[in-house]
Structure 1
């Protein structure tokens, strides 16, 4: 039986699956607290025009042994999975019927902090990576735009607390995505993107 909260979103070379209420409100509050307290958060440093900048986001990289991840001029070495992350990983895996070996976490203090245009297309993710994105806390807009075809409309997904979004197929090769700032949003948000790092 189809999940009544499941929405499929398609455009040219864009394939998304969105489950609005993957977790209920009580579970969301519990996981928000656990993730805030139990994850080893660090500051994110990115390189822009050769200069290193510390962002207002907090990040964490948890993965199986040996699964490091490099982007924006930085390499992240894995922290060993903890109980709450394993619990979330298994729940997502049960739904998706696939296994993930890593997760990138981002913590946004409020709507004044966002994420610029980018694609998760690093070579260690493979040709057509499946990425599962869990959201807790503040509801935020998530925007997709095609990399080359300016005639295609941007696609907006409103990511609610407790929602799960799958980015599928060739999405990462043809589309960029961003989390725009929303200054009226005062609450924090935690996002987890489960992925698979391939063998070199």
Structure 2
């Protein structure tokens, strides 16, 4: 099933999504990879505020290439998500509602997704130029010294993602594998 969801990206809007659904996101999302996640958790440990409001936030695991003149961003394909698994549960517990990346997640992340009514989306790996076409604006808001891994605020329109982990415990990777093996009998 296909859904069109605009911000605010609340758990209420994500609660009926099921693993395997396709979603077109429109609104503000943030970028952060492992170095930025590490810094954000260190900020929280020191009692500092994060560079953006984590409540109802969607974080895209991406390190975009430099933009060409006239474009808001360069190629913006997803990063392998397990690199953020050590940090994701804490951010989900603080109100992050969705993550975008590629690949499987740890059991701790799966439990945090379900506990918080959040979702994990997969973006199309290898299609960074396509993903970049859905970015209308891009602004570095923190950790500029990290270069491509700086935290950015992106404005996206109909950004295509697929639900991998839903808030009810559905897991597309497990379900898809099971369906495939069943079809082979």
Q: Which structure features the higher share of strand residues? A: 1
* TM-score (ref. length: structure 1): 0.27
